[in-house]
Structure formats: structure tokens, C-alpha cells
């Protein structure tokens, strides 16, 4: 499949995203989708969350394609032509969230999330076992965001912040209203955090009512 990125800045943005994916998992794959003059890259991280980045471009034929992240990174770094060969097709098994139906919940200062991630990483190093941080730590709720109007609060687990930190999505800057902020959005079954350099998406854990049948 051929990927077309006419703007060198867009190529560099996608290359930086792909490099971070490979740094987290050298065997990762990247799903590329195209719509309305933009290409969106998706990848699954070791933290069991999806990360995504959108750049201006197109895919020949318009059909989605899955590439090996390491091969795509090499192509982006070496081939500076407008047309880029995405390499041998790879397998993609993850469900992607919907493109519509999202509701903005609130904006959170990026430095606040950065601080939470740093504290979580310190705990992870302290309690990590042979398989890495325990699931109880990764699933711990570290942030609860409530919409300005009536609505159900959105909880964010530690694994989402680990993914944002590992991907370098949290830009540094002054705190407060003038500093970088992260938009928290939710759909019926997904939560999404959009930062300066990319977004992290995870399926929400919904509590089902307990019913007793006779």
C-alpha cells in the first residue's frame, strides 16, 4: 500500500509517533486509516490502550492498511519521496473506537497529568514483578473528570497516563489556563484523552446492574 504525505512536517510528525510506538514495543503494528484528506495512525501499547495521531495525507485506494511499525519507521526515515511504501501487510486484531458520538467532558492541565504519571512510575518501579507493574496499579483510578453540567463522571486509570507519558504526548509548559491542556472526551463505551502530540483511547469499564432471577 502507498501512503502519501506531501508535507515534510506531517511526515516528521508521523515518524515521531511511529518511533515512540516502536520504542514501547518493537513488534507493534500500526493501523492506518484515511478520510477527508487525513491519515490516522493507530497502535496498541503494552499498557493495553490505543494511541493515535492524525496527519494530512492519503492512502492510495482509501482502504485501511496495517503495517509493521518498524518497517513503517524505516520507510518514513529513509524514503523522503511523497509516496511511501508501507511495506508487508501485518495483522490488526484490535477494535477501533467510533469516529463520531464523542462528548467533551473537560480540559485538564497537562502538567497535572504529568505529575500523576511520574508518581505512578515511581510506584511501578517499587512494586514491579517479573511481568512488570501489577494490574492492580495499572487499573487504579488516578483521575475523575466530571462534566460541567449533569452527567456521569469519567474515570481515568493509571495505564492511560503511562501510555501518554511513554508516547511523549504530554508537552511541558506552565501550569494554569495558559499551559498545555488535555481534552477528556467520552462516548458510550470509550474514553479519549487528546494531548498536544497525540491521543490515548481506551474502552470504558461500565458497571452493569446486578439482577436476580427466580
Asked if 104 and 152 touch (Cβ cutoff 8 Å), the reply is: no
User: Which residue ranges form the domains of the chain, and what is each CATH number?
Assistant: 2-85 (3.10.150.10), 103-203 (no CATH)
| All cell numbers assigned to 21 | 510506538
Mind listing the pLDDT tens digit for each residue in 42-74? Answer: 999 999 999 999 999 999 988 999 999 999 999
pLDDT value, residue 213: 38
Sequence-separated contacts (24+) of 59-62 with Cβ below 8 Å: 59/1, 59/2, 59/3, 59/4, 59/32, 59/33, 59/34, 60/1, 60/2, 60/3, 60/4, 61/1, 62/34
pLDDT of residue 95: 93
H/E/C letters for each residue in 93-104? CCCCCCCCCCEE
pLDDT-flagged residues of the chain (< 70):
129-132, 150, 171-178, 205-214
pLDDT of residue 153: 87
pLDDT at 6: 77
pLDDT of residue 212: 41
Q: Is the pTM of this model over 0.75?
A: yes
Rounded CA gap, 59 and 133, in Å? 38
Which burial class, exposed, middle or buried, applies to 182 when counting CB atoms under 10 A from its CB (0-12, 13-18, 19+)? buried
What distance lies between CA 191 and its chain's CA centroid? Answer: 11
Rounded Cα distance between 20 and 135, Å, is: 23
Query: What is the spatial distance between Cα 62 and Cα 89, in angstroms, rounded to a whole number?
Result: 15
Residue of 197, 206, 151, 193 whose CA lies nearest to 173: 197
Residues 6+ apart with CB under 8 A from 108: 143, 145, 181, 182, 184
CB within 8 Å of 166: residues ≥ 6 apart: 20, 23, 24, 45, 47
pLDDT at 130: 67
Return d(Cα 153, Cα 173) in angstroms, integer. Answer: 27
pLDDT, residue 214, reads 34
Measured CA to CA, the distance from residue 140 to residue 120 in angstroms comes to 10
Give the pLDDT confidence score for residue 211 in this predicted structure. 41
Query: Under a CB-based contact definition with an 8 Å cutoff, are residues 63 and 39 in contact?
Result: no
Amino acid at each position: 500500500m502507498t501512503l502519501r504525505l506531501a508535507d515534510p512536517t506531517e511526515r516528521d510528525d508521523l515518524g515521531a509517533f511511529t518511533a515512540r510506538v516502536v520504542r514501547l514495543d518493537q513488534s507493534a503494528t500500526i493501523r492506518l486509516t484515511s478520510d477527508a484528506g487525513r491519515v490516522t495512525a493507530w497502535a496498541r501499547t503494552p499498557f493495553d490502550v490505543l494511541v493515535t495521531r492524525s496527519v494530512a495525507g492519503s492512502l492510495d485506494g482509501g482502504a485501511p492498511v496495517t503495517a509493521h511499525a518498524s518497517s513503517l519507521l524505516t520507510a518514513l526515515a529513509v524514503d523522503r519521496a511523497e509516496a511511501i511504501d508501507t511495506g508487508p501487510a501485518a495483522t490488526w486484531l484490535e477494535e477501533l473506537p467510533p469516529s463520531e458520538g464523542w462528548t467533551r467532558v473537560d480540559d485538564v492541565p497537562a502538567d497535572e497529568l504529568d505529575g500523576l504519571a511520574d508518581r505512578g512510575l515511581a510506584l511501578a518501579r517499587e512494586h514491579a514483578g517479573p511481568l512488570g507493574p501489577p494490574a492492580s496499579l495499572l487499573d487504579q483510578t488516578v483521575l475523575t473528570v466530571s462534566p460541567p453540567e449533569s452527567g456521569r463522571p469519567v474515570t481515568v486509570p493509571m495505564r492511560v497516563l503511562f501510555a501518554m507519558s511513554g508516547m511523549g504526548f504530554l508537552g511541558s509548559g506552565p501550569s494554569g489556563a495558559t499551559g498545555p491542556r488535555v481534552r477528556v472526551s467520552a462516548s458510550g463505551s470509550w474514553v479519549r484523552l487528546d494531548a498536544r502530540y497525540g491521543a490515548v483511547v481506551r474502552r470504558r469499564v461500565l458497571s452493569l446492574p446486578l439482577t436476580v432471577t427466580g
